[in-house]
């Protein structure tokens, strides 16, 4: 009873805040390479404790020297995860707003992907969310046009001078086309994936956007988000994934 009386309300708030912080960090790194890196750091921590317990002074000194640089190492190794975490700050994940007009825009994107897939025309469509893609838009051709299947098909037609770049969409508008994105050189990426897919993975590692990719070789439709890819989607799966992403996050691409 004495222990309970000594617990302050501030202690409860402190525990809850720490629990929420750890939970959010685990959600951010779930399914990413950061999990394996954290396991490696955990192994080093256990080795350090064992070396100290058995008084292995030289080995313990080497481990302790490494810990002096661990902060810099974490920042370098976890760059994509850190960028994504900072990009997600300030978002309100508990409220969702999806208007009929925004769903119509998603429908136009889905129809376009289906048409491009049937004709085996390569395409990379980027759906901007909270993180601005202004730097990439400025490199491309500015359009500022309303979304339509006809517009998207014309942009990616093989005879179009801007068909090789990415198409950036914000809300109901096609902002720019022919945008050049960074390329991911992660060793775990399937070697069968081409430049479009690697660019789609790279941009979603650096920002919170979502991309729709159509393969020029196979016509397969893929979606990338948070540095992960879902491949060989039909229109039903594509519709479900995009709807779930934007209604769950509380922000359709606007």
Looking at the structure, tell me whether residues 69 and 177 fall in a common domain.
no
Q: What is the CA radius of gyration of the chain?
A: 23
Domain of residue 121, CATH code: 3.40.1700.10
User: How many domains does the chain contain in total?
Assistant: 2
Average pLDDT, the chain: 82
Looking at the structure, tell me whether residues 47 and 127 fall in a common domain.
no
In this predicted structure, what is the pLDDT of residue 11? 80
Residue 143's alpha-carbon distances to 146, 176, 177, in angstroms, are 9, 5, 7
Domain membership flag for residue 254:
no
Nearest to 127 by CA among 108, 153, 100: 108
Contact 242, 210 (CB under 8 A): yes
Task: Give the pLDDT mean for 110-116.
Answer: 95
Domain membership flag for residue 11:
yes
Looking at the structure, tell me whether residues 130 and 72 fall in a common domain.
no
Name 200's Cβ contacts closer than 8 Å, sequence gap at least 6.
Answer: 124, 126, 181, 211, 213, 222, 224, 229
Domain membership flag for residue 90:
no
Looking at the structure, tell me whether residues 125 and 236 fall in a common domain.
yes
Domain boundary, last residue among 44, 77, 110: 77
Task: Give the pLDDT mean for 30-35.
Answer: 61
Give percent of the chain with pLDDT exceeding 70: 80
Looking at the structure, tell me whether residues 119 and 235 fall in a common domain.
yes
Domain membership flag for residue 130:
yes
Domain membership flag for residue 89:
no
Domain membership flag for residue 229:
yes
In this predicted structure, what is the pLDDT of residue 28? 65
Nearest to 179 by CA among 157, 156, 145, 148: 156
pTM (two decimals): 0.64
Looking at the structure, tell me whether residues 149 and 223 fall in a common domain.
yes
Domain membership flag for residue 83:
no
Name 60's Cβ contacts closer than 8 Å, sequence gap at least 6.
Answer: 48, 51, 52
The DSSP secondary structure of 123-153, one letter per residue, reads: EEEEE--SS--HHHHHHSEEEEEE--HHHHH
Q: Can you read off the two tokens belonging to residue 131?
A: 């993180």
In this predicted structure, what is the pLDDT of residue 94? 38
Residue 239's alpha-carbon distances to 105, 110, 149, 196, 247, in angstroms, are 12, 7, 15, 21, 12
Structural domain containing residue 159: 100-249
Q: Which residue in the block uniquely carries the two structure tokens 């640089």? A: 69
**Binning pLDDT at 50, 70 and 90, where does residue 153 land?**
very high
Looking at the structure, tell me whether residues 108 and 175 fall in a common domain.
yes
In this predicted structure, what is the pLDDT of residue 223? 96
Looking at the structure, tell me whether residues 174 and 239 fall in a common domain.
yes
Looking at the structure, tell me whether residues 70 and 104 fall in a common domain.
no
Lowest mean pLDDT among 4-8, 38-42, 125-129: 4-8
């Amino acid at each position: 009873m004495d222990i309970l009386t000594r617990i302050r309300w501030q202690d409860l708030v402190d525990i809850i805040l720490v629990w929420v912080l750890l939970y959010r960090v685990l959600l951010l790194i779930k399914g990413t390479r950061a999990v394996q890196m954290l396991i490696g750091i955990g192994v080093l921590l256990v080795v350090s404790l064992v070396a100290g317990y058995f008084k292995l002074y030289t080995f313990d000194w080497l481990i302790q020297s490494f810990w002096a640089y661990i902060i810099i190492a974490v920042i370098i190794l976890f760059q994509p995860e850190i960028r994504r975490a900072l990009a997600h700050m300030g978002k309100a994940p508990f409220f969702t707003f999806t208007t009929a007009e925004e769903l119509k825009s998603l429908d136009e994107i889905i129809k376009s992907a289906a048409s491009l897939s049937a004709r085996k025309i390569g395409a990379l469509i980027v759906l901007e969310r909270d993180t601005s893609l202004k730097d990439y838009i400025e490199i491309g051709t500015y359009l500022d046009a309303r979304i339509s299947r006809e517009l998207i098909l014309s942009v990616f037609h093989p005879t179009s001078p801007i068909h090789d770049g990415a198409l950036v969409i914000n809300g109901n508008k096609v902002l720019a086309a022919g945008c050049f994105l960074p390329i991911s050189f992660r060793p775990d990426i399937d070697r069968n994936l081409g430049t479009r897919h690697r660019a789609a993975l790279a941009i979603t590692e650096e920002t919170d956007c979502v991309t729709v990719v159509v393969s020029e070789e196979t016509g397969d439709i893929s979606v990338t988000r948070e540095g992960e890819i879902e491949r060989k989607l039909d229109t039903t799966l594509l519709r479900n994934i995009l709807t779930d992403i934007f209604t769950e996050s509380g922000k359709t691409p606007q």
